[in-house]
Amino acid sequence: MSHSPTHPAEPVDGAARAHADESAQRLVPLRAATSKDVSTSDPALLPTPHPQSGQQSFAELYEDRLRDIWRAVHGTGPDAVVGVDAEGWLLVREAVFDAGFLSALTEAVLRRSMESAAGEEPFEGNPDAVELQVASATENMPEAMLERFVRGPLAATVERLERQNATREQVADIVLRPLRKVAGRPEATMLGMRLLGYVQGQRERTLGYCLTVAIIADLLGESADTESSYASLIGYHSALRGVWELLTEGELEFEGRARRFTATNTANLATEMWKLIEASPSTPEERERRHRVMRTLKMMAAVAKEAPDIEDAAATAVLEGLGVRAAPPRAALAVIRTIGIGVADLWSDDLPDQARLLSAGAVAAATMDESDRMAAAFFNAGVTLLQSDRRETSTVIWARMVLNLLGMRWGLAEDGTPAAFIAGDGLDCAVNLLGSAVEHRRLNRPDPPAPPELHRVARLVLGLLDLMPDHPDNRLKASRISRSGRILEAEPLPLSDLGPLTAAVDEAISALRTAVAGTRPEEADPLLDTARTVRWVFEDLLGRPSWPLADRVAELVAMREHAGDVFARGYAEYARPLDDPYGTGPLVPAGMLTEQEWAERCARLLGTVPDSMVRALRGFSL
């Protein structure tokens, strides 16, 4: 199995995208929704979405195949060449993509999949070629066709591949393709659990195998129920333990893919663990014990995380903007991104410090092409401040308004259309922005008063209501926005595109800073401006010139030089004893399961190894 060198990033906090297809729904006005909830802000942290699958997309798979074709002709891969050959590779790549081979392949395999009779296999070739064709088909297949596809063509293909002694890893990679499309559905989760057992039947353990197991764990983690979280966690642990064994036995170097794998999946494991922690009440002592394990996992992720692909000078500028001093700067941004996006109370009990970490994490994420995570992070930073004892003071309210405006700014930049913005995390920031504006209005003689630019933002947000589709998730938000609008005496402004709202948000940020500080430094770069605004919120507005967590960041940055050792030592506690087929796992040290419970769960999931996936596929139904 060949995987992309760019492994998807670890999970972060942010709104669940379960309703990402909302934009396709009919847009109907949603007004005057009723709710028993009387608050105007959403006080809950946005849920942690599960990470994107580690499986390559069809286009990435095809590009890998093209690299192998190049290798077949040249003897070396295109990455190994420079100069004229490098130009040659670009020429080949662009010609092949421009020639429309991908769309032709998609069309052909979809047609074959639809035309093939029951029991007939529409795909030919070895597992690599089959995976490419299945990826092409499933990425473009309507969900209504998926059941028939899995039961018929896919089952027949898997039957043939099993007969031809394809490895279980290869079969799993193929089966995962359609399942990813319905991730989160109980049927997909059931089949995923079976697949997790099925791959255990493969003796050979490689990094590719471990990645396949991790992708199955991704699939299981898409389900909301606790059992699926346990299954997903066991899957990640199994994958990480496999890599840990390869590293400690010297069969793998801790670099490149192995390092990315470790960074991603320790963070994924932490995410699943967090879901289980949240689902079960605990005493402060128990919680601290659990947090210790979580911190270990996040620390392993932070030191292994790949640095952003930007210039050192740019990284230094961002760090200075945030008020953090750490070297090397790119490594520091990777650490801030890893520990900042996620569960902030692992690192500090101080709420403003946590909020600053979340805000800094948002900025760091943008340097790693993850600006889609920023809105959720700023939202959570605002909610964190909402939990502080000083939440009703004007400075905290003012800070929340700025943070939510920053979240809106990046949500608007990311989402593009009103429908996408409504479906994304930016709308949550808008809800809480209006909520904090209401609280500000309720203050006795607020000083300074809210600038008129903020009022305009409120009016434009009210205009969004006409565009919100009638969806349960939207009703509460619409209700809060409407109530805030009434209190703020704001009349909705009609909105057809996001241009006026984007401009109004920028003006409001500027106005809020100017209202407090008197002046506002000009900064053309929006990311640097955001970084400096964050620093201003916490250092100037909230009066916290020092940030103790900066030392923690520096400490983790220093550990990155020995990232392999950090993982080898850190995960040893969960991977051992070696004669135990499943190891101790993270839940036992965290006190969430007894050793026996852990062993039983693992045995139930990993100990049942089916001979074939064909029967399960033929019985698949949605």
Partner 1 sequence: MTIDTKPAGVKRLASVWLAGALVLVVLATLFDLLGAAWPAAVTARVPPGVAPVAALAVLVLIAHALHARMPALAWLVLPLVLADAALAAIEVPAHLGPAARTATTDTVLRVLWGVFMLYVVGKFLLLRRFARRAYPAGDRAPGPMTPLPSQERDLKKLTGLVAPAGDEAGRVVPLRGRWGEGKSFLLRLLKERWDPDPAAPALVIVDVWQQETETDLQVSIIEAVLSHPSYLRRLRWCRIPVSFLFARPVAALRDSVRGVQFRLLESGPGVEAELQLPQVSWQGLFERLTQSAARCRTVIALDEADRATPTVTQAALTLARRSADSPRVTVLLPYIQPLIRYKAFNPLLATLPDLASSMQAVLYEEAMASGGPSGHPPDGDGSILGLVKRGAAGWADAVAELPDDQSRLLEPAGSGHMLPWFLALSFASASPERRRVLQARFEEKYLGPAGLHIAPPGPDDLAAMLGILVRVRDVVERELMREEPLTATTRDEIGTAVRLGLERWRGRLAAVPPLRVLEGRLHEVFYATGTPARPCDPRVIATLALAAYDAAGLIHGATLEG
CB within 8 A of 175, min separation 6: which ones?
154, 158, 191, 195, 613, 617
**Does 104 sit near partner 1 (CB under 8 A)?**
yes
**Does 114 sit near partner 1 (CB under 8 A)?**
no
Kindly state the smallest distance separating residue 141's Cβ from partner 1, in Å. 17
Of the pair 82, 313, the CB lying nearest partner 1 is at 82
**Does 122 sit near partner 1 (CB under 8 A)?**
yes
- Scanning the structure block, which residue is given the tokens 């490419």? 132
- Scanning the structure block, which residue is given the tokens 């100990």? 607
Q: Which of 235, 257, 262, 326 is nearest to 566 (CA)?
A: 262
**Does 152 sit near partner 1 (CB under 8 A)?**
no
The DSSP code sequence of 500-563 is HHHHHHHHHHHHHHHHHHS-----SSHHHHHHHHHHIIIIIIS-----THHHHHHHHHHHGGGH
Q: What distance in Å separates the CA atoms of residue 384 and residue 508, rounded to the nearest whole number? A: 22
Residue from 17, 31, 112, 151 binding partner 1 (CB under 8 A): 112
Task: Note whether 332 and 554 are within 8 A (CB).
Answer: yes
Kindly state the smallest distance separating residue 82's Cβ from partner 1, in Å. 13
Q: Which of 269, 207, 267 is nearest to 237 (CA)?
A: 269
Q: What distance in Å separates the CA atoms of residue 599 and residue 237, rounded to the nearest whole number? A: 13
Of the pair 67, 289, the CB lying nearest partner 1 is at 67
Of the pair 153, 342, the CB lying nearest partner 1 is at 153
Residue from 84, 144, 313, 524 binding partner 1 (CB under 8 A): 84
CA dihedral angle for residue 181, residue 184, residue 186, residue 188, rounded to 10 degrees? 30
* Contact window for partner 1 (CB under 8 A) among 60-68, 247-255, 429-437, 504-512: 60-68
Kindly state the smallest distance separating residue 57's Cβ from partner 1, in Å. 16
**Does 59 sit near partner 1 (CB under 8 A)?**
no
Of the pair 17, 74, the CB lying nearest partner 1 is at 74
**Does 125 sit near partner 1 (CB under 8 A)?**
yes
**Does 101 sit near partner 1 (CB under 8 A)?**
yes
Of the pair 114, 528, the CB lying nearest partner 1 is at 114
Q: What distance in Å separates the CA atoms of residue 95 and residue 87, rounded to the nearest whole number? A: 12
Task: Note whether 533 and 402 are within 8 A (CB).
Answer: yes
Residue from 36, 82, 98, 579 binding partner 1 (CB under 8 A): 98
> How many other C-beta atoms can be found within 10 angstroms of the C-beta atom of residue 93?
15
Kindly state the smallest distance separating residue 96's Cβ from partner 1, in Å. 5
Kindly state the smallest distance separating residue 102's Cβ from partner 1, in Å. 9
Kindly state the smallest distance separating residue 90's Cβ from partner 1, in Å. 9
Q: What distance in Å separates the CA atoms of residue 355 and residue 78, rounded to the nearest whole number? A: 45
Kindly state the smallest distance separating residue 125's Cβ from partner 1, in Å. 3
- Scanning the structure block, which residue is given the tokens 């009990």? 349
Residue from 43, 111, 201, 225 binding partner 1 (CB under 8 A): 111
**Does 24 sit near partner 1 (CB under 8 A)?**
no
Q: What distance in Å separates the CA atoms of residue 612 and residue 607, rounded to the nearest whole number? A: 15
Kindly state the smallest distance separating residue 255's Cβ from partner 1, in Å. 27
**Does 554 sit near partner 1 (CB under 8 A)?**
no
Of the pair 112, 185, the CB lying nearest partner 1 is at 112
Kindly state the smallest distance separating residue 106's Cβ from partner 1, in Å. 9
* Contact window for partner 1 (CB under 8 A) among 107-115, 488-496, 518-526, 565-573: 107-115
**Does 88 sit near partner 1 (CB under 8 A)?**
yes
**Does 124 sit near partner 1 (CB under 8 A)?**
yes
For 180, the token pair is 């990813």
Amino acid at 2: S
Q: Hey, which residues between 234 and 253 contact partner 1 (CB under 8 A)? A: none
Kindly state the smallest distance separating residue 179's Cβ from partner 1, in Å. 22
For 83, the token pair is 């100069």
Residue from 63, 64, 128, 506 binding partner 1 (CB under 8 A): 128
Residue from 28, 99, 517, 603 binding partner 1 (CB under 8 A): 99
Kindly state the smallest distance separating residue 514's Cβ from partner 1, in Å. 51
Total chain residues near partner 1 (CB under 8 A): 38
Helix residue ranges per DSSP H, 387-525: 394-415, 418-423, 426-442, 452-464, 472-488, 499-517
- Scanning the structure block, which residue is given the tokens 């308004």? 401
Q: For residue 3, what is the DSSP state?
A: -
Of the pair 136, 474, the CB lying nearest partner 1 is at 136
Q: Hey, which residues between 519 and 538 contact partner 1 (CB under 8 A)? A: none
**Does 92 sit near partner 1 (CB under 8 A)?**
yes
**Does 79 sit near partner 1 (CB under 8 A)?**
no
Residue from 17, 19, 31, 65 binding partner 1 (CB under 8 A): 65
Kindly state the smallest distance separating residue 130's Cβ from partner 1, in Å. 8
For 310, the token pair is 């930007």
Q: What distance in Å separates the CA atoms of residue 437 and residue 529, rounded to the nearest whole number? A: 22
Q: Which of 364, 352, 332, 342 is nearest to 553 (CA)?
A: 332
Q: Which of 425, 345, 330 is nearest to 378 (CA)?
A: 425
Q: How far is CA 157 from CA 3, 134, 188, in A?
A: 22, 10, 19
**Does 119 sit near partner 1 (CB under 8 A)?**
yes
CB within 8 A of 494, min separation 6: which ones?
463, 466
* Contact window for partner 1 (CB under 8 A) among 65-73, 307-315, 449-457, 508-516: 65-73
**Does 66 sit near partner 1 (CB under 8 A)?**
yes
Q: What distance in Å separates the CA atoms of residue 53 and residue 177, rounded to the nearest whole number? A: 10
Residue from 28, 59, 129, 279 binding partner 1 (CB under 8 A): 129
Q: What distance in Å separates the CA atoms of residue 224 and residue 275, rounded to the nearest whole number? A: 9
Task: Note whether 154 and 178 are within 8 A (CB).
Answer: yes
Kindly state the smallest distance separating residue 348's Cβ from partner 1, in Å. 53
Q: Which residues bind partner 1 (CB under 8 A)?
A: 65-66, 68-70, 72-74, 84-85, 87-89, 91-92, 94-96, 98-101, 104-105, 108, 111-112, 119, 122-126, 128-130, 132-133
